[in-house]
Amino acid sequence: MDAIDRRILDILQNDSLVPVATIAEKVGLSPAPCWRRIRRLDEAGVIVRRVALLNRRMVNLPMTVFVSVKAPRHEAAWLQAFRRVIVDIPEIVEAWRLTGETDYLLRIVVPDIETYDAVYQRMIKRLEFSGVNSSIAMEELKFTTAVPTSYIKVKS
């Protein structure tokens, strides 16, 4: 990768619908070589997918709940069962395995507290937990899906 690839990635992370001709102009290339670079980044797996980000309020999902989960035991079978539970619940939009006191952190989006409780009930009905702690987000201070490209090692 080089500096042009980094600039292309910055543009696409901000808006993946920007026409190739516009990207090419912004990075100083003609459209065909720019398109080839984008295709190469796709094929190499640098670009994982292109998605539409929805306005959660407009789709009636204004509430974000962060849920800390403690596993009752650390074994492969429990982890596999947990993976099946979280995959089956669409309101769980992120799940992370952590170090420290909390084993897993979930980010759940729902319309209201009653819906969160229904999600919680579905989880505990399917799997045993040692502890579950929920925190409701009061205000979103920063949200981005873009990652910094400044750490990409650029060829000289």
Q: By residue range, what is the domain housing residue 111? A: 63-136
Residues 105 and 75 reside in one and the same domain = yes
Question: Is residue 37 within 8 Å of residue 23, measured between CB atoms?
Answer: no
Residues 125 and 74 reside in one and the same domain = yes
List, for residues 91-127, the tens digit of each pLDDT value.
999 999 999 999 999 999 999 999 999 999 999 999 9
Q: What is the CATH number of the domain that holds 22?
A: 1.10.10.10
Please tell me the pTM assigned to this model.
0.89
List, for residues 23-73, the tens digit of each pLDDT value.
999 999 999 999 999 999 999 999 999 999 999 999 999 999 999 999 999
Domain total in the chain: 2
Residues 83 and 29 reside in one and the same domain = no
Of 108, 103, 110, 111, nearest in space to 132 by CA:
103
Residues 18 and 78 reside in one and the same domain = no
